[in-house]
Structure 1
């Protein structure tokens, strides 16, 4: 199969237009059209339905586009590896993690990474959906469970536990609970149990709900829960990695916490020798070690 024709087909399928694909490829619309017709003839199949608003892939076209999209991502990965210098760390690094961890723990620490590697470009993708690393949706992930795919390099970073926190002003005003049953006298702030979150956090929240909190505020991410706690609204269910960076919060009912949530760093096998990946991995491991040490010190106070 002609690689050049496949390249042109991929551009047309991606753009949905002969004209837009031609602009991208620096080819005339007629030249692009000829290459698509030639590819269709060689395959004995129609790849596009043509109509006034553009082009729509046929079933056969969708199959071919899936293949060229996979090839394109693999080629991007190979190009990234080739561009990686053995002595310098530069270029784009696409990092995916959850909204809470990325916003509240990772992003505040990135200045240290940029100080060391000023030519690195980090694309931070924060969402609860698990992106496909082998398919190059991201280069490296920090996930709140062990990745299941076999073709990933993974390293456990730490355990995270959900605990109860409140501001000192709130506790001075409303009193500090001495027993879990005292939750009935307070406003509970948590992620909505129907929102995407780790199971351990949802189970702890469901357990606390059985004690009939006086009032309830639910948010669909931990950033919102944190802001509510810092603004004296109630007792929040939050990950313990926040205790280090938000000393204004006071831990409440220290014997109440979720099961440990293992947190992993993962990246594709094919990026094993990437200098960008190595730099980010070492940075994260150093920050996690410092975080663990400070968390232990806080617990001993």
Structure 2
């Protein structure tokens, strides 16, 4: 087995895994299909394993390829992190707040809360480049998938720097004209008579919430979406009653219902790896995000 395998071979391997074909991988990477094929063959020779089998549906990964995938993804995250770190020292003076910082936040926080914060951050530090990752998945800070993450759960890893910014409250809301047409529910049981907006596929967080809020279950939802932004759009359109940040609802003029029966209090943290504390680009971004989210959570 070779011990000097180039990163470009693993990069193509990951692209083929994700795209399912050499042509798709080539388009994604901006290389030719023959080059993508040569990369896969070279990696198979270097590792002395078979990574893909051909089928009518394209290239199918072998068990070996699936076992290698998380390691290759870790390499990809590290390579991207190295590039971001180097970007912070580029330029004539190599000092100050500059370079690329990658931030992860939930869909709603990333779209509804952070844009003006990032705009102000860029006004203050115009040489800073911000990559915003919208995901409800907890990004792995230890593997450097992102530099900074806004999380709705307290981080447990000792290698992380974390600042608690407060509690974001989620309540049930609807547009005024929906309630004028259909009435205002006075109990969780009364939601059965309403158009309720909720999740489609449950996850661990939703299962925990459902246990404490028995009236808010999958079977009772008239409209279902796993995207929090889609749910928020439905509420704003007057389609029914759904969960929304209290601060956003107040800003948009939405009406809260059943405030005593339904209140999710999401403890919110801004986190980054402790190795990034000395990075001007990460430190500046961390402080601005934390200060702004503290104000939002009040």
Same fold (TM over 0.5): yes
Does the C-alpha gap of structure 1 residues 254 and 71 become closer, same or farther in structure 2, counting only changes over 3 Å? closer
Number of aligned residues: 265
Gaps of 5+ in 1: 38-44, 294-301
Q: What does residue 277 of structure 2 align with?
A: 272
Encode CA deviations 1:79-135: one digit per residue, 9 max, x unaligned: 356559886322111111222221222235422222222222111111222222122
* Aligned: 1:287 with 2:292: yes
* Aligned: 1:229 with 2:226: no
Q: What does residue 148 of structure 2 align with?
A: 140
Q: What does residue 177 of structure 1 align with?
A: 185
Q: What does residue 58 of structure 2 align with?
A: none
Instruction: Output the TM-score relative to the length of structure 2.
Output: 0.71
Separation in 2 of the partners of 1:203 and 1:104? 28
Encode CA deviations 1:144-175: one digit per residue, 9 max, x unaligned: 11123221111112212321111111112222
Does the C-alpha gap of structure 1 residues 181 and 47 become closer, same or farther in structure 2, counting only changes over 3 Å? closer
- Which residue among 80, 86, 90 is the counterpart of 1:79? 86
Q: What does residue 250 of structure 1 align with?
A: 255
Q: What does residue 298 of structure 1 align with?
A: none
CA contact (8 A) 1:73 1:135 kept: no
- Paired residues for 1:1-301 under 5 Å: 6=4, 9-15=6-12, 46-48=46-48, 72=79, 75-76=82-83, 79=86, 82-83=89-90, 88-192=96-200, 194=202, 201-203=209-211, 206-209=214-217, 216-246=222-252, 248-293=253-298
Cα displacement (A) at 1:59: 6.5
Larger radius of gyration: 1
Does the C-alpha gap of structure 1 residues 106 and 137 become closer, same or farther in structure 2, counting only changes over 3 Å? same
Separation in 1 of the partners of 2:207 and 2:87? 36
Tell me the SS of whatever aligns to 1:130: coil
Q: Please report the RMSD computed on the Cα atoms of aligned residues, expressed in angstroms.
A: 4.2
Structure 1 stretches of at least 4 aligned residues deviating more than 6 Å after TM superposition: 56-61
CA contact (8 A) 1:154 1:264 kept: yes
Separation in 2 of the partners of 1:70 and 1:184? 46
Tell me the SS of whatever aligns to 2:136: coil
Tell me the SS of whatever aligns to 1:173: helix
Separation in 2 of the partners of 1:141 and 1:203? 27
CA contact (8 A) 2:160 2:272 kept: yes
